Structure 1
Amino acid sequence: MRRWTTVARSSTGFVAGLTAAAVLTVGFLAYQAHATVPRNLSGRPGPMATHAAGASKAPRDQRRPTALPGGSGTGERVVYSLDDDRVWLVGADGTVQNTFKVSPGNVDPAPGTYAVASRSKAITGTDGVPVEHVVRFTTTGGVVIGFSAAVDGSWPTSDPAIRTGGIRESRADGETMWMFATIGQKVVVIR
């Protein structure tokens, strides 16, 4: 009888040790996952995120409405105009490599400078539509903001019950954005 009591006590200690190790491992992994979330997707401003409070509209060339607006930053970058629903892909030398119209969701990012935080080749958008070439750069009010192209070529729905930060592009423009906007690429949002 004495031998079984000793075995039961040692088994209990062994199980308690395994449980403690499992709890520590899960805690460590949770901390590690939280610590490695890109700052722009965790609700906290990232190292490049700057917001211009009360930013005025960037100057436009009235004769060339698709020209890159002045005051849209420097160097290689994606420029996204909230008012014009247009994107410019700008090379390191400041020349526009491409520009195209987009159709935003109903949640806009604040004007400012961000960095591409994550990308997905293909997912389902918040409106239930399969999308590809997803390039995310920030969150606003818990809604992820990024560029994508609907596989079926559709544009976002205007259903106010669905909060979406997807900025839709054509499939061809989505592929161009995908090639240009890699992780860390600067994204400048202007009015």
Structure 2
Amino acid sequence: MARSSGGSAGVVVAGLTAAALAVIGFFAYQASAAQDRVERPSAARSGEPSPGASRHADDKGRQAERDKKEKALPADSGEGLRVVYALKRQRVWLVGKDGKVTRTFTVTPSAVSPPPGTYKVTSRSAHIQGSDGVPVENVVRFASVEGVTVGFSAALDGSTPTPDASRKTGGVREKRADGEAMWSHAPIGTPVVVVP
């Protein structure tokens, strides 16, 4: 009996020893891996850009360049104090007497757009009902196309919906802050240069 019992105990002890060695080996591996991470700092901590960070920086650089081109005042858009409206880019520039841009912003074009050319602000209204039935403010009119008056305006509710192509409307919609800037910048007689 003693011999049989001792044999079982030996097997149990050997099994426990093997399990303990496996656990110790696992912890030793973890400690070694942690030490490697400490000794070899990541690219972000070492000041070297990681491949992903470099690609992200390139993307941001390209986007900044596109934004710069998009916001650049179109060439051959007149001189001096004026408003410049680019139809394809759906963007407006407010240009001061010195020829410097004081503000640029995107707009939602009207259903009816004037052909490229130079116009002048002909009338203004502080608050009216827009041709699409929406209450608007800071209306600055500058052209008439096919019997439709075209002008910049901002909806009181701040909306800039895409115009209904089936209705002939002439409201070029701006955000309210942009509408206030336009109102201050463009009194009657101010040139409005429309470019393609």
Q: TM-score range by the shorter chain?
A: 0.5 to 0.7
Choose from 77, 83, 98 the match for 2:82. 77
1:112 aligns with 2:117: yes
Contact kept in structure 2, 1:104 and 1:156, CA below 8 Å: no
- Paired with 1:186 and 1:114, the residues of 2 have a C-alpha distance of 6
Superposed CA RMSD: 1.3
Aligned positions of 1:47-126 closer than 5 A:
64-126=69-131
2:163 aligns with 158
Question: Is residue 137 of structure 2 the alignment partner of residue 132 of structure 1?
Answer: yes
Distance 2:138 2:180 in 1: 6
Contact preservation (8 Å) 1:116, 1:181: yes
How far did 1:155 drift? 1.4
Secondary structure in 2 matching 1:126: coil
SS, match of residue 65 in structure 1:
helix
Structure 1 counterpart of 2:183: 178
Return the offset for 1:176.
0.3
Give the TM-score, by structure 1 length. Answer: 0.66
| Counterpart in the other structure of 1:187 | 192
1:162 is displaced (CA, Å) by: 1.6
Provide TM-score, normalisation by structure 2: 0.64
Between the aligned partners of 2:91 and 2:140, the Cα distance in structure 1 is: 16
1:160 Cα deviation (Å)? 2.3
Moved over 3 A (4+): none
State whether residues 143 and 151 of structure 2, in contact with CA within 8 Å, keep that contact through their aligned partners in structure 1: yes
Q: Which structure 2 segments of 5+ residues have no match?
A: 1-64
3-state SS in 2 of match to 1:146: strand
> CA–CA distance in 2 between the matches of 1:184 and 1:144?
16
Aligned-partner SS, 1:162: coil
Distance (whole Å) between structure 2 residues aligned to residue 88 and residue 112 of structure 1 = 15
Rg (Cα) greater in structure:
2
In structure 2, distance between residues paired with 1:111 and 1:173: 22
* Maintained 8 Å contact 1:105/1:156: no
Give 1:146 deviation, angstroms: 0.3
Q: For structure 1, list consecutive stretches of 5 or more residues without a partner in the other structure.
A: 1-60
* Partner AA of 2:77 in structure 1: S
Amino acid at match of 1:81: A
State how far apart, in whole Å, the 2-side matches of 1:111 and 1:134 are: 20
The letter of the residue matching 1:69 is P
Give the paired residue count. 131
TM-superposed deviation, 1:143? 0.4
SS at match of 1:89: strand
Aligned-partner Cα distance in 2 for 1:160–1:88:
25
Q: Which amino acid aligns with 1:73?
A: G
Larger relative helix fraction: 2
